[in-house]
């Protein structure tokens, strides 16, 4: 029985990279944050679920490649669901077995302030797009599993698309959250994210943790996480992947155009 060719870029040989581009000349770049998602789910939930959805989309598309999620370099500011704010931070620090003060970073002691951190993160994204384009991909779909990152990724996508066009090697870039294309809505560590993780990597989820610590059930994450199921996660992941695959197919077939909603980018 023949194996399906990989869709994960890092697993591909050069010939497979060429073939995947010939089938659908598009790369997927998942984004995620390493953060608290409740006791029941892994800290890498954002990138893991967006990567899984992108892999599903590539398989539905019949081509293209999924790059590893970009996790590191994300500024530790208020987007982290109150982790840096006492007393919430104190509770999370106690679970991790560390000190609340560490959540604040070292900006006050010679480290980068939040604005510098965001600029550094956007440079990291810019270089990630450059890396992908160097392998010949003409379109890139950025899929964020940490929804606030969409707002920071969009200007990077605009600048990169313009620079590539000026160089005579246009790269079209689309940006969205994992659920945007499907018209759905997510949550933070609740039924949505926990269900998606049960479908993507069931070994990483343990709902029994919520039973063992009822005092933390629903704290700093969705209380409806107890209702999460792999079946629901599978249905949501498939819906998101189907919609993203459709948007990716449009990019491939209409290169170098962008969807009307993004026409002003160029």
- The 10s digit of each residue's pLDDT in 74-117 is 877 655 554 555 567 778 888 889 888 787 778 778 888 888 88
**pTM assigned to the model:** 0.94
Neighbour order of strands in the sheet with 172-177: 65-66, 27-31, 139-144, 172-177
Lowest mean pLDDT: which of 36-50, 66-80, 122-136, 191-205?
66-80
Question: What is the reported pLDDT for 108?
Answer: 75
- pLDDT of 237 over the 80 cut: yes
pLDDT digits (tens, 9 = 90+) for 2-48: 578 899 999 999 999 999 999 999 999 999 999 899 999 999 999 99
Question: What is the reported pLDDT for 2?
Answer: 54
CA distance 106 to 82: 18
The token duo for 56 is 């599903």
pLDDT digits (tens, 9 = 90+) for 241-252: 999 999 999 999
Share of the chain above pLDDT 90, in %: 71
- pLDDT of 264 over the 70 cut: no
State yes or no: cis peptide before 87, omega within 30 of 0.
yes
CA distance 140 to 133: 8
Nearest CA-CA partner of 176 in 157, 158, 150: 150
- pLDDT of 63 over the 50 cut: yes
CA distance 246 to 242: 6
The token duo for 10 is 């890092």
pLDDT, mean of residues 135-155 = 95
| Contacts for 106 with CB less than 8 Å, ≥ 6 apart | none
Question: What is the reported pLDDT for 128?
Answer: 98
């Amino acid at each position: 029985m023949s194996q399906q060719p990989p869709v994960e870029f890092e697993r591909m040989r050069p010939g497979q990279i060429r073939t995947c581009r010939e089938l659908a000349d598009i790369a997927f770049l998942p984004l995620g944050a390493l953060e608290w998602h409740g006791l029941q789910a892994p800290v890498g939930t954002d990138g893991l679920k967006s990567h899984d959805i992108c892999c599903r989309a590539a398989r539905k598309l019949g081509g293209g490649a999924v790059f590893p999620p970009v996790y590191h370099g994300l500024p530790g500011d208020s987007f982290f669901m109150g982790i840096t704010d006492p007393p919430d931070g104190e509770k999370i620090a106690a679970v991790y077995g560390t000190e609340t003060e560490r959540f604040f970073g070292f900006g006050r002691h010679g480290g980068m302030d939040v604005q510098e951190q965001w600029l550094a993160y956007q440079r990291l994204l810019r270089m990630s797009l450059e890396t992908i384009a160097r392998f010949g991909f003409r379109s890139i779909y950025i899929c964020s599993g940490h929804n606030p990152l969409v707002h920071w990724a969009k200007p990077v996508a605009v600048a990169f698309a313009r620079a590539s066009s000026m160089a005579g090697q246009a790269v079209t870039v689309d940006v969205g959250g994992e659920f945007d294309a499907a018209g759905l809505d997510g949550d933070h560590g609740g039924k949505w994210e926990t269900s998606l993780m049960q479908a993507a990597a069931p070994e990483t989820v343990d709902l029994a943790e919520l039973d063992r610590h009822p005092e933390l059930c629903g704290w700093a994450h969705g209380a409806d996480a107890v209702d999460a199921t792999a079946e629901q996660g599978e249905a949501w992941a498939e819906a998101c992947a189907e919609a993203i695959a459709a948007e990716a197919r449009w990019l491939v077939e209409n290169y170098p155009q962008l969807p009307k909603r993004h026409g002003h980018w160029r």
